[in-house]
């Protein structure tokens, strides 16, 4: 049976941060780890991080991703030197990875990973996915995984980020570090289940932007005008604005059906724009001509109310089962860029406390990234601007 251990730290020196995290998580038994998942802020040296981890756990498979801050058992931190890990002991898992994944080849690259994963461990019933957050078609990622494993497999995970600039993010597999990489972790422990849900707490405002020209996941026109020009104009930003300027205020909402809205606690699912080339905007998923997209604004009361509702619903679905570990993906725009320290800590406390075991937080690995995977309406779905929890229980 799989066992999970976690830790987090804020240490300037990358090598020292790895040592501290490994020793906090597993004491002197860190060499016993079979798999280690790292999340680290963009200020760390990823090659040094992976080399030090390999030295301390030479038999472990190592994967990593950059982020804009971490959430662990020790709390939340958003500095340029944050690091967190989840260490796993046991053999009931498999890992596949790829490089050079972009929006145009997301389906093909993910299909290769999924087929490799199934060959390694045919009993997989849940898949953790992590990919570059800058320019990937996340609906294509879901489609490819489901083609191999079926729609019943639960997909959870995130997309990597930088410090909200939308310039570069990192992913790593063992000793290799990438800028357009991805990996899949398939868990095949038959004693484990996972429950997932996401919530954002933003509300749509004004009139919609209508997509009048698009190709795949790229929006070329809104309302018959160049997309980036129309988007920045609607936000009151100059056309010269960057994605770093637009991400905090530019969440775009797609309207949900009444049934999905009732489950989600919101009438819209949100999307982030992490890259633009001239006036062409890279959307997080494929986008059809005619789609209406609303700008949104955060509703602080709704954010806290929906967090309470989400964890209550998840606990009810678990029916008293004990939490083994929690993976957690949070949009970076829900961190210090939109909340001060006090509110952020309170929000994290609200999501963690319901899953405590005998007064202690279970192994917990959270990151502030560009996007989140969680089920909605029983379907694997990609989200933006949410808190998404993935509770593994036995």
Q: Where does the pLDDT of residue 340 fall: very low under 50, low under 70, confident under 90, or very high at 90 and above?
A: low
- Residue 334, pLDDT score: 64
Task: Give the Cα separation of 166 and 129 in Å (integer).
Answer: 20
Beta bridge partners of 115: none
Q: For 64-73, what is the mean pLDDT?
A: 95
What is the per-residue pLDDT across 303-312, written as a single tens digit (0 to 9) for each? Answer: 889 999 999 9
pLDDT at 251: 93
C-alpha 19/C-alpha 154 separation (Å) is: 33
Is the per-residue pLDDT at 339 higher than 60?
no
- pLDDT over 70 at 341, yes or no: no
Helices and strands, number each (H, E), in the chain:
9, 26
Closest of 382, 206, 232, 220 to residue 289, by C-alpha: 220
Q: Where are the domains of the chain?
A: 3-198+304-393, 202-298
234-260 residue pLDDT tens:
999 999 999 989 988 899 999 999 999
Tell the residue number behind the tokens 């941060």, with chain if given: 17
pLDDT over 80 (residue 344): no
Rounded to the nearest 10°, the torsion over CA 308, 310, 316, 318 is -120
pLDDT band at 79 (very low <50, low <70, confident <90, very high): confident
Output the pLDDT for position 163. 82
pLDDT tens per residue, range 134-172: 889 999 999 999 999 999 999 999 999 998 788 899 999
The answer to whether residue 342 scores a pLDDT higher than 70 is no
Query: Phi first, then psi: what are they for 101, rounded to 5°?
Result: -100, 130
């Amino acid at each position: 049976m799989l066992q999970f251990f976690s830790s987090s730290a804020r240490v300037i020196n990358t090598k020292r941060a790895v040592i501290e995290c490994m020793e906090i998580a597993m004491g002197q038994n860190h060499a016993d780890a079979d798999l280690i998942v790292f999340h680290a802020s963009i200020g760390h040296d990823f090659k040094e991080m992976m080399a030090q981890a390999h030295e301390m756990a030479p038999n472990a498979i190592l994967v990593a991703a950059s982020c804009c801050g971490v959430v662990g058992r020790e709390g939340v931190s958003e500095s340029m030197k944050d690091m967190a890990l989840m260490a796993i002991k046991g053999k009931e898992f498999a890992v596949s990875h790829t490089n050079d994944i972009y929006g145009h080849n997301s389906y093909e690259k993910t299909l290769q990973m999924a087929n490799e994963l199934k060959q390694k461990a045919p009993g997989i019933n849940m898949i953790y996915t992590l990919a570059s957050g800058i320019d990937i078609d996340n609906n294509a990622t879901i489609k490819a995984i489901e083609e191999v494993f079926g729609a019943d497999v639960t997909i959870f995970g995130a997309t990597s980020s930088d410090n909200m600039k939308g310039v570069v993010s990192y992913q790593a597999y063992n000793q290799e570090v990438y800028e357009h990489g991805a990996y899949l972790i398939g868990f095949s422990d038959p004693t484990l289940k996972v429950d997932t849900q996401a919530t954002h707490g933003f509300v749509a405002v004004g009139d919609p932007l209508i997509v009048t020209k698009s190709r795949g996941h790229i929006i070329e026109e809104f309302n018959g005008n160049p997309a980036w020009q129309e988007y920045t104009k609607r936000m009151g930003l100059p056309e010269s604005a960057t994605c770093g300027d637009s991400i905090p205020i530019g969440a775009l909402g797609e309207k949900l059906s009444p049934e999905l809205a009732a489950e989600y606690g919101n009438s819209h699912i949100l999307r982030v724009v992490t890259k633009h080339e001239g006036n062409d905007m890279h959307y997080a998923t494929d986008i059809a001509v005619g789609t209406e997209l609303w700008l949104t604004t955060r509703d602080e009361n709704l954010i806290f109310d929906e967090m309470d509702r989400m964890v209550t619903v998840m606990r009810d679905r678990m029916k008293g089962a004990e939490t083994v570990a929690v993976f957690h993906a949070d949009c970076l725009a829900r961190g210090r860029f939109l909340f001060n320290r006090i509110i952020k800590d309170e929000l994290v406390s609200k999501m963690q406390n319901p899953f405590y075991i005998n007064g202690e937080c279970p192994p917990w690995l959270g990151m502030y990234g560009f996007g989140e995977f969680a089920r909605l309406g029983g379907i694997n779905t990609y989200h933006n601007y949410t808190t998404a929890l993935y509770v593994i229980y036995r």
